[in-house]
Structure 1
Amino acid sequence: MLGCKPADTPLEPNSHLKNKEGKPVDKGSYQRLVGRLIYLTYTRPDIAFAVSIVSQYMHDPHSSHLEAAYRILRYLKSSPGRGILFLQNSHLTVEAYTDADWAGCPDDRRSTSGYCTFVGGNLVTWRSKKQMVVARSSAETEFRSVAHGICELLWLQGLLADLNFPVQSPMKLFCDSKSAISIAHNPVQHDRTKHVEIDRHFIKEKLEQGVIIMHFISSEAQLADVFTKSLGGKLFCPIVSKLGMIDIHAPT
C-alpha cells in the first residue's frame, strides 16, 4: 500500500457493509490486518468506527470487507503523523458526548453506540460498538448510549478520586436526542420506557443525585458522530480537529 492514493476519510461516506458481499478472501490475512488496526485504535480514535465495522466480518471476510480495510490504510497514509494533543488547561471539567446510529447494520438492524469523554478539555476515552439487542426506536438506542456514557463518566470519577483529583462539579453529558433527555427527566412515560427500564432508573438516579447534568447539543456539534457514522470529509475533518487531534507533519 506504499504507492496507494490517500483517502480523506476511513470509510466511504454513507457506506454500509453486508455479509457475504463480493468474493471470499483469505481469512488469516484479513484477521491479521484487522488485528493490527484494532491495536492502532488505542491511539487513533478517528478510525475507531471504521475498524469496529470491518472487525465484525473477521469470521467470514469477503472482498468488500477487505476493500473497506484497505480504505482505512489509505486514510492512514494521508495522515501518518496525526495523534491526540494533550494541553495543560486550568480546569478538570469532565464531559462526555454520546450518540447512536439507529438500526445502522443492514444484516441484523442492530444500532451502533458511540461515546467520547474529556477531562480538562482533553480526550481520554472513546468507544464505538454495536449494541447487543435490536432497538425498537431511535430514542431507545440513544438512551442505551447515554447509559454507556454515564458508566464511563462514573469510572473516570472514581479514577480521578484515586489519583487525589476528586471531581468537584457535576459531570456534563451532551446528547443530541431531545426524546432521550425527556425520558431521563420524566419517569411518567412508562409505555415508551418499559423495555429499557433498568437504564432509565440508572440514569434517573444519577440525575437526581446531581452527579450528571444532561445537555442537549445540536447534531452539527455532536462530536460522537464520528464513532457511529461514516461521514464525508466536510463533516469528518472538523470533528476530528475538535477531538484534539493534530497532524505533526501538517504545514503550519
Structure 2
Amino acid sequence: MWPLKYFLGIECARSSTGVVLCQRKYALEILQEAGLTGCKPASTPLPPGHGLAMSTSALIQDPSKYRRLVGRLIYLTITRPDMAYSVYLLSQFMHEPRVDHINAAMRVLRYLKGHPGQGILLRADSNLQLMAYCDSDWATCPLSRKSVSGYFVMLGCSPISWKIKKQTTVSRSSAEAEYRAMADTCYEIQRLKGYAATVRMRSL
C-alpha cells in the first residue's frame, strides 16, 4: 500500500521531523458551507464572559443547521485541541439552540478561518514518557453548579489525548473539583499504558 496521505478528512504529511496531522480541507469545507470563506478572522474562539448558558435570546427556527455545524466541529477537534473547549460548550445547546449560540458558533468559524491548516505534530524524536496536564473550573455551569474538567496527555513532545467534560457530580470546593480532574487524568493514563502493553504483547 502507498504511504497514508488522506483518510476520513484527515491529512497526513511526513518529514524527517515527524508526522503532521491536520484537517485543512475539511475545515475549508465547513467554512464554505457556512458562507464564511471571505470573513474576517477572529483571534480567539470565544470571548471571555460569553454567558451562553444563561442566554434568553430567541430560539433558532431550524435547529438542524446548528446541530450539523456543531457535529462537524466535534469531528474537527480530532486534530484541533485548541478548539476543544469552545466546541464542548456549543455542544451543550444542541437540544434547544438560540440565536446567541449560533452567533457564538459563527465566532468559532471566524477563528477557524485564521488557522484552517493548524494541526498536531507527532515528532519522530519523541521519547516514550507520558506527560499529562489537567485543570478544572469550579462551579462553572451557572445552571447546575457543576465543574468542568480538562486534561491534555503527551507522549514525549507529541500530543496524543485531550478531553474537556462537565463533572458528573457537584463539587463542594475547588480542591474537590481539582481532585476529580486528576482522577480522570490518571484513568486516561492507565488506559493508554494498558493499550501500549497490549500492542507490545501482540508484536512479540
For the criterion TM > 0.5, the same-fold answer is yes
Q: 1:170-213 CA distances to partner (integer Å, 9 max, x unpaired)?
A: xxxxxxxxxxxxxxxxxxxxxxxxxxxxxxxxxxxxxxxxxxxx
Give, in angstroms, the shift of residue 14 of structure 1. Answer: 3.6
More contact order relative to length (CA 8 Å, sep ≥ 6): 1
> 2 CA distance for matches of 1:15 and 1:94?
34
Q: Is the 8 A contact 2:81 2:162 kept in 1?
A: yes
> 2 CA distance for matches of 1:158 and 1:18?
38
Match of 1:13 in 2: 48
- After the TM superposition, which parts of structure 1 deviate over 3 Å for at least 4 consecutive aligned residues? none
Residue 14 to residue 89, structure 1, CA distance change in 2 (3 Å): farther
- In structure 2, the residue corresponding to 1:57 is in which secondary structure? coil
Residue 128 to residue 46, structure 1, CA distance change in 2 (3 Å): same
Q: Percent identity of the aligned residues?
A: 48
Q: Is the 8 A contact 2:130 2:153 kept in 1?
A: yes
Q: Which residue of the other structure, out of 54, 59, 67, is the alignment partner of 2:95?
A: 59
Match of 2:23 in 1: none
Q: What RMSD over aligned residues (CA atoms) do the two structures have, in Å?
A: 1.4
Match of 1:123 in 2: 159
Q: Which residue of the other structure, out of 99, 120, 125, is the alignment partner of 2:135?
A: 99
Match of 1:29 in 2: 65
- In structure 1, the residue corresponding to 2:71 is in which secondary structure? helix
> 2 CA distance for matches of 1:94 and 1:162?
16
| Structure 2 segments unaligned to the other structure (5+ residues) | 1-35
> 2 CA distance for matches of 1:52 and 1:16?
14
> 2 CA distance for matches of 1:103 and 1:4?
35
| AA in 2 matched with 1:6 | P
Alignment of 1:1-252 (within 5 A): 1-25=36-60, 26-89=62-125, 91-164=127-200
> 2 CA distance for matches of 1:69 and 1:135?
29
Give, in angstroms, the shift of residue 144 of structure 1. Answer: 0.5
Aligned length: 165
Instruction: Please state which structure has a larger fraction of its residues in strand.
Output: 2
Q: Is the 8 A contact 2:148 2:165 kept in 1?
A: yes
| Structure 1 segments unaligned to the other structure (5+ residues) | 166-252
> 2 CA distance for matches of 1:90 and 1:34?
33
> 2 CA distance for matches of 1:20 and 1:65?
8
| AA in 2 matched with 1:95 | M
